[in-house]
Each structure stands twice: as structure tokens, then as C-alpha cells.
Amino acid sequence: MAKITLRIWILIIVLMLALLMISPSFKEGVLIKSVDANSTAFNNGLMQGARITAINGQLIKNIQDYTKAVSIYDGNTSKKIEITASNGDFVFLTDNAPEITVTNVPRTKIKTGLDLSGGARAIVRPVNVTLNANEMGDLISTTSQRLNSFGLTDVTVRPTRDLTGNTYMLIEIAGASPDDLRDLVGKQGKFEAKIGNNTVFIGGEKDIADVCRNDASCAAVQSCFPSSGGGYGCNFAFAIYLTEEAAKRHADITSKIDVDASGQYLTEKLDLYLDDNRVDSLLVSSNLKGQVTTQISIQGSESGSTQDIALEDARKQMNRLQTILITGSLPYKLEIVKLDTISPTLGREFTRGIILLGLVVFAAVSIVLFVRYRKIKMTLAVILTMFSEAVITLGIAAFIGWNLDAPSIAGIIAGMGTGVNDQIVIIDEAVSSEKSGLKDRIKRALFIIFGAFFTIVAAMLPLFWAGAGLLRGFALTTIIGVTVGILITRPAFADIIRKIQE
Amino acid sequence: MEDNKHQQTHKKHWYDRYYKLILLPPILLLVVCLVYLGIFYANHNDLIYKDASLSGGTTITISEKIDSNLIEQIKQKMPDSYVREINDLASGEHIAVIIDTSLPPEEAQPIIEEIIGFKLTSLNSSIEFTGPSLSNNFYKQLIIAIIISFVLMSFVIFFLFRTFIPSIAVIFAAFADIVFALTFVNIFEIKLSAAGIAAFLMLIGYSVDTDILLTTRVLKKSEGSVNERIFGAFKTGIFMTITGLLAVLPAFFVITGLPDSFRQIFLILAVGLSADIVNTWLTNASIIKWYADAKGIK
């Protein structure tokens, strides 16, 4: 075996490091993504990041197994559950399925973006105002808070800007996304409770000290009934706690209103407005007149064609109101300028397609290389270099935590394409029958390769900023790919070819 | 070997005689394309057909089998919509339906759900919406990006060769590649996505590889005649383009289940690389030969 040069060693070491970064995992089970605070699961010690391998003695290999295993906990009777997890075994009584979200154990550390794993992406901007960095920070924290209190955990919210200096808020949600995402991120969330023209309280911490949530004793869908026009309606109610200031305001306003004929209620109702639309009118009990009361019950109802739909809608509306009452209103209107929800099923198809594509490209390129050079060694050298480049690029992407989306993958493939081009230049210079030294010819090859490198970097650079950075992945992976090529794989490849030639 | 040499000396004769004439067809073609694009611009007030990501609107991909008469109904109910089916190339099996419409999703979704008779959830469909304000902005910025990209590429080329005519020849070839590719997508009425425009940036960087190879071999090599160097470069370059095409074509033709915006990148690269064969080996080669002859480069 020929001596391995320093450059080849560098390639081998970097390749190893890249594999370490990607580190494929073959562990079985499902990973706990989140655990609801103060839930039975939480109190019994289930922790985020732990891996569940069995439930009640059944092996859990994937989400499907998990869903099947917990389906017997239907909320009717208390049953024992035995969970075998990576951080210990847990046995407890529960009537509901554990209050956790799980995901399949990721096979690699490569982060897959929307196009591959499914999820939702929204780009939102405030209408008619330009936000400075602080205001954008506020918008992002309010939005994150809303999404979190809505029960979404795997969420990133960040600012993004484009070539002309417009700033946007970019929201990415992994996995299945709620269908009411539009309302959640695109609405100002202005909640007002009014009696007549007087505002009693508004959403946000100034007026609202606390909102009851996830506690059936003070927040629940109370009753469902067939409605007169066909279909069903469901009522919900939850308690909120006013701050002292808001409670005094409530007392002031109600003290001036008369009690109605029945003596049970006040003559004017408490109207609830969400983004200037009245969502409900509540009767105010006569014994609240002039009282400094801090606890108020917010009620509402939703209807649907079946009881299940009505129930689901009532739950959603309750959750939405609770979220908005906690987080308060934004001082401006919002516009959703982009909203993509990508199905995880299509994402899987896409991943399969990419792997197949990779194989086809490798095969096709190998065949033409062999036909042209008739040398197995050379063909193998090119293919191995191509493969190393892809692996190192993926390793770097995993290292910097880059979310691989469709444009990023296109970039990797295009990068590999230019990589092969460069290698052909090297081979042709090396095998040429000229009298000038091999070293000179390789030097000339490297001039061509550096030229090609700089042009492609120059050409892709503007994509980092254009279009709110949505195509940044394309530029990033191409540039990583060609840089890896120029610094690591090409010098090593030139040495390999030199060895083959000698 | 002897035979080969004999062929080359023979070729040398015709190439020396006709290289200026060879310039003519690609330049005529470029003029035709430019005129076509000019007329296109006059008619559409735009240079391309834009998809929902650039013109504003919604793309809904349903990964379920949908009866063809239901698809007809969708087309009728939403007259501005553009519906197409995706079939697996290998099995011919129906994979998905893609619906493009200018309506926002909250309006389009109920119409489609009523016709197909089931709810669109995040499990059976993908919905991509781009608001008109963003899409306009997108489009403008991507055009600016292409211009910046082109200018930066030109700087690099000037920096590499530091001579006017050879540099201009490379830049001109890259420009012609873009014009040919643009004409192609317009003739086939392909609606470009944001990713598709990004592919043009890639093309700017990718297609100059062979031009750099050609120019370097002719100007920086001292062995052999100019013609031999051009033919040598051609042998290497054409093979580069062929492998390049093999890397990008499968993404368009073989793996049809991939998202459209993704496949478009590869289609545009493939068209651009094919155009580059003409622009490098007819146009650029003739210009550099002319330049070498004039400068007395041997």
C-alpha cells in the first residue's frame, strides 16, 4: 500500500469527525419530548430526554407502538401503568395516558427541517409599523409565550431580515401543527371586557393576576346539548383573577348599573371582545354590584355539527382565550405574510426520494467515469471523494445545528456536482501526456478549481439575505460543500491521483 | 495514437478557417432569445411565469388518491387554480395532487374539502401560503440577488484573468446561459418558484467552471498549439458538463415524487448546463481563439 500523505490523513480525520457529529443511533424506543408540569407523569419522575423502551411489558419501538400501548388509558378508570425508561422503571396508577409528548428516537444528529420532518412555518410582520430590536424582542417573547401556553413545545421564534432591511418574525414548529395556528400567531390578541362603553379589564398582566388552566375544578367544558337549529353546542367556563386595580374598576362601573326586574342580574351585560369582535356577553350577577371582586368567571360556548366537533371547538376557544388573557395584547396588528404547513407524511416521502436520488446519482456518475477512464481505482477515488464531501457537509450542518430543508439538500447535491467537475480537471491534468512536470499540471488544475470555487461562492452569497433568508440553506450548504472541497478533499484527491499515476 | 494526431491536424484546418463563423449561430440564437424575452415582457409585463410563492397565493399538496372528475370540479370551482397530478414514474401510481390558487388557504381549503369529501389535515396534506406583499418583495429581492451575484462573479473572473477580452468572453457566456435557460422555462410555461430563481444564481456560479477551464488552458499553458489546447479543454469540459448533468437530471426525471420547487432547481441547472455547452465551446472558444490569434499567442 502506498504511503498515506498528510493531506490524505487530514481527509480521513475530518471524515471521522464528521461521522462523529452525525453519529447515527440504532437505539430503540421513543424519546420523551416534553412532560406537562405537575402532571401524574411529571410527579412520578418521567423526564424530558428519557427514552421509553417498554410499557406494561410490551416493547416500544416507535410512536405507533407507544400510541397503541397507551390507548387503553381512556380516562374512565384508573389502571396501573408500568413504564420502562432509560432513567429507570416507573409504576403508577393513572386513568389518562401519561401527559407527555414523545417522538421516535432520532437516527442521527442531523436536524431535519420542515420539508423533511413536517411542521409549520409562519412569517409574520406588524402592519404599518417598523419595529426596533427591542420591540421585535417583545413581539417574539409574547408570541413564544402564546405558543408555549397553547401547549406547543418544539417551537423556534426568531427575527429575520431581508436585503432591503425589512424585519419579520419567523416561527417554526416541528411535527404536526395545530389547525388554528393562523389565529395563534397572526392575531393581535386584544381582549377587552366592557360593560356598556366602559372597559372593565383587558388581557395581560396589568389587569389579570392569574388565569385558571389545566385544572378541572376552575376551567372546563361544562355541558353539551343539542342546539335548536340542529347540531350541538358546548359551554365552557374558566376562572380568572383580577388585579386589585381592575377589581376596583369593576366595582366602580357595576355600582352605577341597576338590577333588572328579576333581581338576579344587572341590566347591562359584560361584553367580551377579541380583536374588536364581540365573542360573548355575560350576565352579571346582581350580588356583584359594586363589589371589589377579584375572581371572575369567563364563559362562552361553541357549536358544531356533532357533539365531538362542538366539544373540540369549545376546548380550543377556551384555550385561546386563556392564552390571550395571560399574554395580553400586542400594540399593533399583525399580518401573516407566509404560512406553510408541511405534512410529516410528505416529509417522509421526500426523505425516501432524496436517498433514492443519492443512489441514482452515485451510480450514474460512477458508470460514466468508468467508461471514460477505464480505471476502477480512479472511479473509486472520485466516488469516495464525492461521498466524503457529502458526509463532511452533513457533519458540519449537524455541528452548527443547521435545519436541513429542501434548499439545503439541493445545495449539497449541486455542491457534489461541482466537486466532481473539479476532480475531472485534476485527473485530466494528471493523465495528460505533456512533458511539463506533474506538479505544474496539478498546480494549473488547482488554479482552475480555485477560480471555480470563488465564482460559486460569489454567485451564492446574495442568497444569504434575499427573500427573508428562506433560501439561505441553499447558499449555506453549497458554500460549505465547495469549501470542504477546496480545503480538504481536493488536496487529498490530488495526492491520491498522484499515487495512482506513480 | 497516430490516427488521432492525424485527425487533429485535419480538424485544425477547419477550425482555423471557420472559428469566426462558428460564433454566428450562438449569437443569432441569443438575439432570437432576447427578442423573445422582450416580446414576452411586453405581453406579460414580467420576465417569467410566477408560481404562488412569487405571485402570492396558496399551494395545496394532497397526498391521497383523488378521482379525476373531482379534480375537474376543483378546477371549475376555482377558475384561477392550476391543478396537476403527480404520478410515480416507476409504478405509474398516483402519488399526489397539487393545487395552486391565488386564494388564501382559509378560503381555498373549505372549497376543496367540500369537493373531495374529507378534511385536509397536517397528515394528508401540505399547505403553503405566501401573502402578496411578501411574494412581491421576494421576487424583487431575488432579482436584485441575481444582479449582485452576476456582478460578483464578474469581479472574480476579472480578478482571475486580469485581461479584458478573455474575461468578458467568460462573463458573456454566463449571461447567454441565463438567457437561454430563461427562454426555455418561458416557452414551456413553467411557473417559477423562489427556489427556481435561486437556481439561476447557482447557474451563474456553476456554468463558468468550463469557461475558466478553457481560458486557463489557452492562456496559461505553453505546450501544444492553441487549437490543441482548446480541443484538450473541450474533452475535459464536455465530460464535466455530462457528469454535472447526470448529477442534476435524475432529480428532475427519475425521482418525480420530490417537491416541485425542489425539482425546478435541477431542471433549470440542467437546461443552463446544456446551454453552456453551446456558449462555452462555440462562443467562448471562438472568442478566445480570436484573441489568441490577434495577440500572437502560440
Q: What are the pLDDT digits (tens) for A376-388? A: 888 999 998 989 9
Is the Cβ of B232 closer than 8 Å to some Cβ of chain A?
A: yes
Q: How far does the CA of residue B209 sit from the closest CA of chain A (Å)?
A: 5
The band of A153, judged by pLDDT with boundaries at 50, 70 and 90, is: low
| Domain range annotation of chain A | 6-23+343-501, 30-104, 119-187+335-342, 191-329
Among chain B residues, the shortest Cα distance to A386 is held by B247
Q: Which residue reads 407566509 in cell numbers?
A: A338
Please tell me which of A35-39, A104-108, A133-137, A232-236 the model is most confident about, judged by mean pLDDT.
A232-236
Based on the fold, state whether residues B125 and B141 are members of the same structural domain.
no
Strands A208-211 and A232-242, how do they pair?
A: antiparallel
Residues 6+ apart with CB under 8 A from A312: A304
Instruction: Check CB contact under 8 Å for B212 and A448.
Output: yes
Residues of B in contact with A356 (CB under 8 A): 254-255
Domain finish residue from B130, B156, B184: B130
Residues of A in contact with B141 (CB under 8 A): 162-164, 465-467
Q: The domain at A6-23+343-501 falls in which architecture? A: Up-down Bundle (1.20)
Q: Which residue reads 491536424 in cell numbers?
A: B9
d(CA B182, CA B200): 9
Based on the fold, state whether residues B138 and B121 are members of the same structural domain.
no
Strands B125-130 and B57-62, how do they pair?
A: antiparallel
Q: How far does the CA of residue B132 sit from the closest CA of chain A (Å)?
A: 7
Instruction: Check CB contact under 8 Å for B212 and A458.
Output: no
pLDDT at A331: 76
Instruction: Check CB contact under 8 Å for B208 and A455.
Output: yes
CA angle A364, A365, A368 (to 5 degrees): 90
Based on the fold, state whether residues B207 and B270 are members of the same structural domain.
yes
Instruction: Give the phi and the psi of residue B82 in degrees, each rounded to 5.
Output: -130, 110
Based on the fold, state whether residues B239 and B173 are members of the same structural domain.
yes
Residues of A in contact with B216 (CB under 8 A): 444, 447-448, 451
Strand partners, A225: A233
The answer to whether the beta carbons of residues B11 and B19 sit under 8 Å apart is: no
CA-based diameter of chain B, in Å? 76
d(CA B213, CA B221): 11
Is the Cβ of B248 closer than 8 Å to some Cβ of chain A?
A: yes
The x, y and z cell numbers of residue A433, run together, are: 501526456
Q: What element of type H or E holds A168? A: strand A167-174
Domain finish residue from B130, B157, B190: B130
From A355, A384, A358, select the one nearest A369 (Cα to Cα): A384
Strand partners, A121: A172, A340
Residues 6+ apart with CB under 8 A from A419: A385, A386, A389, A481, A482, A485, A489
Packing angle, helices B194-220 and A438-460, rounded to 10: 150
Based on the fold, state whether residues B253 and B141 are members of the same structural domain.
yes
- Tally DSSP H helices, then E strands, for chain A: 14, 20
Interface of A with B in 306-365 (CB under 8 A): 335-346, 349-350, 352-354, 356-357, 360-361, 364-365
Choice between A64 and A476, residue whose per-residue pLDDT is larger: A476
Instruction: Check CB contact under 8 Å for A410 and B125.
Output: no
Is the Cβ of A245 closer than 8 Å to some Cβ of chain B?
A: no
Based on the fold, state whether residues B215 and B262 are members of the same structural domain.
yes
The amino acid occupying position B248 is: V
d(CA B9, CA B7): 6
Q: Which residue reads 369549545 in cell numbers?
A: A314
We report the CATH number of the domain holding residue B32 as 1.20.1640.10
Q: What are the pLDDT digits (tens) for A334-389? A: 888 888 888 877 777 788 888 888 888 889 999 999 999 888 888 999 998 989 99
Is the Cβ of A184 closer than 8 Å to some Cβ of chain B?
A: no
The x, y and z cell numbers of residue B57, run together, are: 397565493
Among chain A residues, the shortest Cα distance to B243 is held by A365
Q: What are the pLDDT digits (tens) for A163-199? A: 777 788 888 887 666 666 777 777 777 888 888 888 8
Q: In Å, how far are A55, A389, B131, B138 from B111, measured between CA atoms?
A: 43, 47, 19, 28
Based on the fold, state whether residues B83 and B214 are members of the same structural domain.
no
Based on the fold, state whether residues B237 and B95 are members of the same structural domain.
no
> Count of domains in chain B?
2
Choice between A283 and B182, residue whose per-residue pLDDT is larger: B182
What is the predicted ipTM?
Answer: 0.85
Strands A111-112 and A403-404, how do they pair?
A: parallel
DSSP string of chain B?
-HHHHHHHHHHHHHHHHHHHHHTHHHHHHHHHHHHHHHHHHHHHSSSSEE-HHHHSEEEEEE-S---HHHHHHHHHHSTT-EEEEEE-TTT--EEEEEEEESS-HHHHHHHHHHHHSS---TTTEEEEEE-HHHHHHHHHHHHHHHHHHHHHHHHHHHHHH--HHHHHHHHHHHHHHHHHHHHHHHHTTPEEPHHHHHHHHHHHHHHHHHHHHHHHHHHH--SS-HHHHHHHHHHHHHHHHHHHHHHHHHHHHT-TTS-HHHHHHHHHHHHHHHHHHHIIIIIIHHHHHHHHHHHT--
Q: Rg of chain B over CA atoms, in angstroms?
A: 24
pLDDT at B1: 40
Domain finish residue from B130, B163, B194: B130
Question: Residues of chain A with pLDDT > 90: what percent?
Answer: 10
From B166, B142, B154, select the one nearest B233 (Cα to Cα): B166
The x, y and z cell numbers of residue A235, run together, are: 359551554
pLDDT at B90: 61
pLDDT at B13: 66
Choice between A442 and A411, residue whose per-residue pLDDT is larger: A411
> Between 3.30.499.10, 3.50.50.60, 3.30.70.1520, 3.30.70.3400, what CATH number should domain A119-187+335-342 receive?
3.30.70.3400
Q: What pTM did the predictor assign?
A: 0.79
Q: What are the pLDDT digits (tens) for A87-104? A: 888 888 887 778 777 777
Based on the fold, state whether residues B101 and B191 are members of the same structural domain.
no
pLDDT tens track, chain B, 298 positions: 444 445 555 555 678 888 888 899 999 999 999 999 999 999 999 999 988 888 888 988 888 778 878 888 888 888 788 888 777 656 667 778 888 888 888 888 888 888 888 888 777 888 888 888 888 888 888 999 999 999 999 999 999 999 999 999 999 999 999 999 999 999 999 889 888 998 999 999 888 999 999 999 898 877 788 888 899 899 999 999 999 898 888 887 776 667 777 888 889 999 999 999 999 999 999 999 999 988 887 7
pLDDT at B30: 95
Based on the fold, state whether residues B125 and B139 are members of the same structural domain.
no
We report the CATH number of the domain holding residue B91 as 3.30.70
pLDDT at B29: 94
CA angle A374, A375, A376 (to 5 degrees): 120
> Between 3.40.190.10, 2.30.42.10, 3.30.420.40, 3.40.50.11900, what CATH number should domain A30-104 receive?
2.30.42.10
Interface of B with A in 46-75 (CB under 8 A): 61, 63
Based on the fold, state whether residues B101 and B10 are members of the same structural domain.
no
pLDDT at A175: 66
Based on the fold, state whether residues B146 and B67 are members of the same structural domain.
no
Q: How far does the CA of residue A338 sit from the closest CA of chain B (Å)?
A: 4
The answer to whether the beta carbons of residues B240 and B233 sit under 8 Å apart is: no
Residues 6+ apart with CB under 8 A from B294: none
B240, B253, B268, B276: best to mutate for the A interface, most A CBs within 10 A: B240
Is the Cβ of A424 closer than 8 Å to some Cβ of chain B?
A: yes
Alpha helices in A211-267 (DSSP H): 244-255
Residues of B in contact with A413 (CB under 8 A): 247-248, 251, 266
Residues of A in contact with B140 (CB under 8 A): 164
pLDDT at B159: 94
Q: What are the pLDDT digits (tens) for A104-118? A: 777 778 877 777 778
Across A258-399, where does the E strand assignment appear? 270-274, 277-282, 295-304, 334-342
Instruction: Check CB contact under 8 Å for B251 and A357.
Output: yes
pLDDT at B9: 53
Its domain, for residue B85, covers 57-130
Residues 6+ apart with CB under 8 A from A153: A33, A34, A101
